[in-house]
Structures are given as C-alpha cells and as structure tokens.
Structure 1
Amino acid sequence: MPSVLITGGHKGLGLHATTAIARRGGVDIVLGGRSNAEVSAVAQELGATYGVTVRALALDVCSLASVAAAAKAVQELVRDGAIAPLQALLLNAGAQFMGPIQYSPEGYEKTFATNCLGHFMLVNRLLDDIQPEGRIVFTASGTHDPATMDGKMVGRAALPDAMRLANEGKAGKPLSPGQRYSTSKLCTIMYAYELDRRLRARGSSILSIAFDPGLIVETNLARTAPPLMQWAARTGFAKWLVKRMGVTMGSLTFSGEVLARLAIDPEFADASAKYIQSCNGQWVEQRSSAMSYDSTLARKLWTDSEALVGLPSTVQET
C-alpha cells in the first residue's frame, strides 16, 4: 500500500485533499502540521471514518530544525516498514504574513522560510524515500505572475534571489507583504521546474508538479490581515467582484479534489514540469510566468537555497 505525506493537510485546502485521498482508500496518509493536537485529532477522525491509516507528524515548515526532525521521523517509518515508500509528497502548507516583517527561528524572513525553504529542505531530505514514478506536488499561486490579474492585485513578484529574500528587511527598503508572498510563490514554481530538470538528469521517474488552487477565500490564507479585511474577502459581493475582474477562482472542494488527483491519479502521470491550475470549477494546464522558466535563475535559486538550509551544493552542468 503506498503512502502520501502532505504538509498542512489538517485544515483548509489540505484537509479537503486529504479527505479525498482517504475516501478513495488504498493509501496510508501522513499529516504534517505544527499543532500536534489539531493534526492528531484530524488523523484519528479520518482513520475512523474511512478505515485508512493516518499518522500525525509534528512539522512546522517555518523551522528548519522541525523539518529535519520530521524528515528523519518519516525515514524511520519507511525503514521500519511502518509505512511504504512515499507515492506522493504534497507541499501544501503556506502562509501570507501581513504587517511588520517576522523571522523564522533560523532568522530568515518568515514568508520565504514558510513557503519556500522548509519545503525545499523537506524535498531534499526525502527524495530518496519517494518510490519510482512517485509525485512531488508544490502548491503554488497565480499571484506569482505579474501579467495576470492575480499578480496585479497582490504585488509584483521580485527577482527570485534566495539570499535577499531570506534576509528581507534587514537592510534597505523591504518588499511589501504582498510582494513577499507573490515572490515566494514564484520561487515555489521555479523549485518545481528545477527539480524536474534535476530528476530527468539523473534518470529518475519521479514527477515534479506545480499546482495553483486558485483564490480560495475560505482558506483564511491572509489570517494575519485586519479582521475587517478578512470579513470583506468572504462576502458574496467580493467573490463576485474578483471573479469579474479576472482573478483565478478556486474552491475548497474542487481544488482539494484536484490536489488529491495530482497525488494518485494515472491521469496526471505525464504532468511533471507542468503548471496545473484550478479555475472556476475546471482544472487546466497553463503557462506560468515568463520568469518562472528562466533556468539560470532557477539554478541559482536552488544552490543558494541549499546554502541557506545547510545542504551540500549540487551545482548542475549547464
């Protein structure tokens, strides 16, 4: 029986994806989240409801120490035969932090640490524990693309410079909260594409996929925004307005189902290096931003991220 590890799988979009996977059966699930009590409660409920094995994993993607400990725990579960090698690794957890800049336990800007570095480290620690033809799915966002209304509303993504992004706010004028978020999602997509290039270079059959679930206001992504702003975003009028403006709209139910399918369905067996988007009740394969395909920038982002998380450099030949 294969296994699936999902970060942030106990709430919002992640919970809907996890539920869809559990409902299908035949897969062991590992839920990674920072609140052990919340994750354990969801794991128990899903296991009892659908008769599948669901394990809780302490994992705060903002903390590299937590990521390292979680990766080791997963490797021990695989080594001991408690779970099968991973069929899929769903890098779903994410956040947008409004207000003054915050920093991770390692001193990195919190948006970049949470949305990028934690997942980057997790992928690299667990890559050898993913079975052939397994899948790695990066949850991205249309906000990364300044040519779209999604990107225009949030703030234009900056250059994917890992060293600057990790140390944002320590010198000079910082990026806005929206720019920090959109840039982190640009980096996420570039990780997915660069990982695919590296996997193909080593003859691996593992897939690396970027997924945009669309704007889902119910996920409370901007949970650090002022309460009035959070309320306004949930009104029917606001949803109608942003859709009319051309924003890519998703939903918890449909986008969660697509994320689950990306993990396990044969339909997506050729989706590596593709950008799959949930848009108004349909999934579509789209082009991501022009910058996201820049392999030179992606290689530098990758090697700089390796340095930031303390991994050995794996410079690729051009």
Structure 2
Amino acid sequence: MPTILITGGHSGIGLAAVRQLAAKGNDIVLAGRSSGRMQPAADELRARYRASVTMLTLDTSSLASVRAAAAQLHKMREAGEIEPLDAILCNAGGRFDGDVSYSPDGYETTFATNCLGHFLLVELLLASLVEGGRVVYTASGTHDSQSTDGKLVGAAVEPDATALANNGKNGVKALSAGKRYSSSKLCTVMYSYELDRRLRRSDSSVVSIAFDPGSVPETAFLRGMPKPVQWISGTPVMKGVSKRIGVITSDMEFSGASLAALATDPDYADRSGEYFQANDGNLSAVRSAQLSYDKRRARKLWDDSKQLVHLTANEEPACLR
C-alpha cells in the first residue's frame, strides 16, 4: 500500500489530512514529539479505517531527534515493517509567542522547528521515496509581506538562515513572534522551490510542492494568545471580517483534504515547483511572494541550512548537491 509520512499528523490540519489518506487505503507514518499525543490519532485511524499506522518519535526542533527518527525509519524499512515512502508531508510547525527562545541546538525555536528540522528530514529521507514520490511543505500566506496575512502577522524579513537561526543573540534585537513565524514560512516556500530545481537538474521524478492551508481558526495556531483572542478568531463574524479585509481563509476539513490531495492525487503528479492555496473552499495554484522566486537567495538559504544542520557528505543525496 502507498505509505505517507507526516509530521504533526496527530492534530489539526494534519489529522484532517491523514483521515482522508487512511480512508483511501494509505498506510500512515505519524511523526511527532509525543507518542502519548499520537496514540489517540493512531487508534482512531486503525479502528475507523483499518489503516496501518506507525508512530515515529520526532521533534523537528531537535536535530538529534530528526536524525534518530530517520535512522529508526531506515531500520523499519530494512526489516520490512514499512514500505518505501510515497510522500513526505512536512506539516508540523508553530508560532512561538512571548520572548525569543532557542532549540536544543541553540537555534531560535521558530526557525529550528518550522525550517531546519524539516530541511534535515527531507535530506535524510529523500532516498526512501518511491519514483514519483512527493514532498509537500505546509507553508502560509503570511510569508508574503505584501499580502493582508503578512501585514497582519508581521512582514517577513530577509530569508537568511544564519541570521534567523541566531535571532536575538549578540545584542541584536529579537524579531517579534509574528515576524519570526512569517519569515520561517517564507523560507519554507523557498526550500520547496529550491528542492524542485535540484530535483529537476538531476532528472528526478520526485515532486516538491508548497501548500498554504489558509487561516484556520480551529487549529492550535493561536494557542499562545489570550483566550478571548482565541475565541473571537473562530466566530462567524470574525471569519466574515477576515474575508472582507483579504485574509486567506479556510476550514480544517477542506485544508486537510487539500493536503491529502496534494500528497496523492494524480492531478498533482506533474505540479512540482508550484505553490497551492486553500481559500474559501477552493484549492488552486497561485503566485507566492515575489522574493520567494529569488534563486540566488534560495541557493544561499539551502547551503547555509546545510551548514547549520551539520549535514555530512554521507547524509546528502547526490541528486541534491
């Protein structure tokens, strides 16, 4: 059976996606920080859809955890416990409000969690993808500083991996939580495009897609905000206001179904290097921020990220060099 690995598939949009994938007969690898939090989702998928579900402990904020998870997956593959991967869904992430904080590796938490962990994971698992397999990155419309989403959250800054990883250090004023988030999502879109360019140069059939699920108040995205803010964001009135001012809006089920479709539907098998957006019940390819298409910046982002995750020659697939 087709096998899909997803980070953050035990809640929110990720869970909505894996329900769709499991219902269609896909095997699921749930990758997340806590087996206790993943267990209810795994139990549901097995009972409701008779799906084969494997849990993989993985914290994208920790490079050691990512490496351990990749090694564990390779062991399971060699033992015949799971099939080769048909898709890797880089879906986990978050906005970390409050004072700037740092990962176990000493990198700013937002950039470490949303960017570096997934960057390393794709490097380590790309060889486990089948021919024509897919990598789908969950991005955000906030990455575009010219969009309403970007202006409301905080305009993304220069996609400089080294600066973002060390944000707030050495006397430099830390970016706001919103800017840290939107900048991480700009980098996510650029990783997707740069991966596509490298895959095409090597004649690989693997597909790389960026996905904006839209603003989905039902998710835990605002969990760090005051309870009244969390409540009002999900009301019909607020949703209506958001649409009128140009915020890209969606709901949990549609965004989850869209992510599942991008991962497996034949319609997207030849759409590598594109950016798809779920907006008010429609999934369509749209233009991302102008800056996201800058090839020079993307190459630097990629190469600097390799240095930050301490990628070795043995870890990097030949097709990505």
TM-score (structure 1 length as normaliser): 0.97
Partner of residue 231, structure 1: 231
Quote how far apart the aligned CAs of 1:235 are: 2.1
Q: Unmatched 5+ residue regions in structure 2?
A: none
- Deviant stretches of 4+, over 4 Å: 313-317
Quote how far apart the aligned CAs of 1:270 are: 1.2
Contact 1:97 1:222 in 2 (8 A): no
Contact 1:5 1:88 in 2 (8 A): yes
Q: Indicate yes or no: 2:23 matched with 1:23.
A: yes
Q: Indicate yes or no: 2:174 matched with 1:177.
A: no
How many residue pairs align between the two structures? 317
Structure 1 residue matching 2:135: 3-state secondary structure: strand
Q: Indicate yes or no: 2:115 matched with 1:116.
A: yes
Farther-moved stretch of structure 1 (76-85 vs 284-293): 76-85
Contact 2:214 2:278 in 1 (8 A): yes
One-letter code aligned to 2:275: Y
Quote how far apart the aligned CAs of 1:239 are: 1.2
Partner of residue 281, structure 2: 281
Farther-moved stretch of structure 1 (108-117 vs 39-48): 39-48
Structure 2 residue matching 1:188: 3-state secondary structure: helix
Structure 2 residue matching 1:49: 3-state secondary structure: helix
Partner of residue 36, structure 1: 35
Contact 1:40 1:55 in 2 (8 A): no
Partner of residue 98, structure 1: 97
Partner of residue 84, structure 1: 83
Contact 2:204 2:319 in 1 (8 A): no
Deviations 1:127-167 (A, max 9, x none): 10111100000000000001111111111100000000000
Q: Indicate yes or no: 2:54 matched with 1:55.
A: yes
| Percent of residue pairs bearing the same amino acid type | 53
Partner of residue 303, structure 2: 303
Q: Unmatched 5+ residue regions in structure 1?
A: none
Partner of residue 165, structure 1: 164
Farther-moved stretch of structure 1 (292-301 vs 218-227): 218-227
| Alpha carbons of structure 1 residues 126 and 102: separation in structure 2 relative to 1, 3 Å | same
Contact 2:96 2:177 in 1 (8 A): yes
Contact 1:95 1:222 in 2 (8 A): no
One-letter code aligned to 1:303: D
Partner of residue 188, structure 1: 188
Quote how far apart the aligned CAs of 1:41 are: 2.3
CA distance, structure 2, for counterparts of residue 51 and residue 229 of structure 1: 38
Partner of residue 211, structure 1: 211
Contact 2:143 2:289 in 1 (8 A): yes
CA distance, structure 2, for counterparts of residue 166 and residue 124 of structure 1: 19
TM-score (structure 2 length as normaliser): 0.96
Structure 2 residue matching 1:39: 3-state secondary structure: helix
